[in-house]
Amino acid sequence: MADIKYYIRRLRGINLDHLKEAVNAVHERTGKNKAVIFLDMLGCQLKYGAGYYDYLIFGFADLTAAQRATFVTRTLSRKLNVFLNDEKYTDLFDDKAKFNKLFAKYIRRKWLVLAESTKEQVLDFVRGKDEVFVKILDGECSHGCERIHMKDWPDPEALYEHIQKGGFGLLEDVVDQHPDTERLHPGSVNCLRIITLLDDDGEPHCLYVVQKMGLGDSFVDCNCLYAPVDPQTGKIKFPAHSGNTPLGIVYEEQPDTHVKLVGYQLPFVPEAVAMCLEAARVVPQVRYVGWDVAVSKDGPEFVEGNTYCAHDFWQLPPHTPEKIGKLPEFQKYAKGFKR
């Protein structure tokens, strides 16, 4: 019944203009007949749970049935999250204050929970700093996150009032990034996204590592650029992909800093992976986590943990030359999961 309701919501939520755009984009890339593409999209929705967005970004038009069946589509992503993560425990990750407290040993920067702090403590925290971050407690994809430059707030009272009115829940120092990470895009905190999964015996596994990086004047790395990373060597494996995934734009170099990406050596990647694998055991009821890891000069530290991981950026055509998605790996470690 839950799946039926979910499909009904999906159908009701279809944006016909976006559907038309997706059909046109596939037609332009493949030259296939639009009617054939549309009918194939409908078939893939029924058989694989792949909507028109999945069909476009994963290049389903050029895949065999066997290859299509290996991809974690939007529908399967939802099922995996429900199957692997007990919602009674996900608030430990979704609430940024709870996350920082629970994983404090893995966080190097200083931070303050605003609801538990006096005005004097807040002003003392920001005093003498060039910049700080304020965040709402349940924000996602940088929503409700603000990088405050102290030079813009010469009046401490006005700054405190701004923080109070903004509904922020957390005050943090800005990560002092490692120079090799900073070099990718100096204007943003460029995190590693490391995805871990606890198998049926409670053993943690690293499914994927990607380097995110800012673009243009962004001060965060969300929805900008990302490139897959070898978890053992710490080197970038493939060109970066645009965070605006349907565009299919690939970058051999970071367009702002012109850093050549493939083969670029990132710092502390094996240490970051080891940290995530260790932390994955802390809440065994939440088996599937996407960790955002910043890297400072002293090593890796957590920024946040995501219990609902985006399913798209680690299965894109430029990063899957073998044309195989991630579903077989999930099924290897979570044997009870059914499509």
Residue 7 in this model has a pLDDT that exceeds 60: no
Which residue in this structure is represented by tokens 């080891």? 274
Considering the domain architecture, whether residues 274 and 147 belong to the same structural domain is answered as no
Locate 297 and state its tokens. Answer: 């000069």
Q: Which of these three, 158, 173, 188, is where a domain ends?
A: 173
Considering the domain architecture, whether residues 11 and 65 belong to the same structural domain is answered as yes
Return the minimum-mean-pLDDT range out of 186-190, 192-196, 227-231: 186-190
CB-count burial class (<10 Å; 0-12, 13-18, 19+) for 260? exposed
pLDDT band at 118 (very low <50, low <70, confident <90, very high): very high
Residue 204 in this model has a pLDDT that exceeds 90: yes
Query: Mean pLDDT over all residues of the chain?
Result: 92
Task: Look up the CATH number of the domain holding residue 142.
Answer: 3.30.1490.20
Range of the domain at 21: 2-69
Considering the domain architecture, whether residues 183 and 329 belong to the same structural domain is answered as yes
Considering the domain architecture, whether residues 91 and 239 belong to the same structural domain is answered as yes
Helix residue ranges, H only, 195-282: 269-279
Signed CA dihedral, 31, 47, 210, 110: sign only: positive
Helix residue ranges, H only, the chain: 2-12, 16-30, 34-48, 52-57, 65-68, 74-84, 91-94, 96-102, 119-126, 156-165, 179-182, 269-279, 327-333
Residue 332 in this model has a pLDDT that exceeds 80: yes
Q: Does 132 reside within a domain?
A: yes
Q: Does 92 reside within a domain?
A: yes
Mean pLDDT of 1-26: 71
Considering the domain architecture, whether residues 114 and 213 belong to the same structural domain is answered as no
Residue 176 in this model has a pLDDT that exceeds 70: yes
pLDDT of residue 143: 63
pLDDT of residue 217: 83
Considering the domain architecture, whether residues 185 and 316 belong to the same structural domain is answered as yes
Mean pLDDT of 289-306: 96
Q: Classify residue 128 as left (phi > 0), alpha (psi -120 to 50) or beta.
A: left
Q: Does 135 reside within a domain?
A: yes
Considering the domain architecture, whether residues 91 and 192 belong to the same structural domain is answered as yes
User: For residue 338, which amino acid is it?
Assistant: K
Residue 239 in this model has a pLDDT that exceeds 90: yes
Considering the domain architecture, whether residues 183 and 309 belong to the same structural domain is answered as yes
Q: Does 338 reside within a domain?
A: no
Considering the domain architecture, whether residues 214 and 243 belong to the same structural domain is answered as yes
Mean pLDDT of 175-197: 95
Q: Could you give the CA distance from residue 207 to residue 227 in angstroms, rounded to a whole number? A: 15
Residue 141 in this model has a pLDDT that exceeds 60: no
Neighbours of 286 (CB within 10 A): 21
Q: Could you give the CA distance from residue 11 to residue 42 in angstroms, rounded to a whole number? A: 11
Interacting residues of 94 by C-beta distance below 8 A, sequence separation 6+: 138, 307
Mean pLDDT of 50-62: 96
pLDDT band at 13 (very low <50, low <70, confident <90, very high): low
Q: Which of these three, 134, 149, 173, is where a domain ends?
A: 173
pLDDT band at 5 (very low <50, low <70, confident <90, very high): low
Q: Does 292 reside within a domain?
A: yes
Mean pLDDT of 130-157: 84
Task: Look up the CATH number of the domain holding residue 245.
Answer: 3.30.470.20
List the one residue out of 109, 50, 94, 92 whose CA is nearest residue 74. Answer: 50
Q: Does 187 reside within a domain?
A: yes
Q: Could you give the CA distance from residue 178 to residue 265 in angstroms, rounded to a whole number? A: 12
Q: Does 105 reside within a domain?
A: no
Interacting residues of 332 by C-beta distance below 8 A, sequence separation 6+: none
Considering the domain architecture, whether residues 119 and 23 belong to the same structural domain is answered as no
Q: Does 267 reside within a domain?
A: yes
pLDDT of residue 218: 80
Mean pLDDT of 91-115: 96
Considering the domain architecture, whether residues 45 and 162 belong to the same structural domain is answered as no
Q: How many domains does the chain contain in total?
A: 3
Mean pLDDT of 190-215: 96
pLDDT band at 338 (very low <50, low <70, confident <90, very high): confident
Q: Could you give the CA distance from residue 114 to residue 32 in angstroms, rounded to a whole number? A: 56
- Per DSSP, the three-state class of 38 is helix
Q: Which of these three, 152, 173, 194, is where a domain ends?
A: 173
pLDDT of residue 145: 82
Q: Could you give the CA distance from residue 253 to residue 259 in angstroms, rounded to a whole number? A: 5
Buried residues in 112-123 as b, exposed as e (16+ CB within 10 A)? bebeeeeeeebe
pLDDT of residue 40: 96
Write down the pTM of the prediction: 0.91
Considering the domain architecture, whether residues 181 and 237 belong to the same structural domain is answered as yes
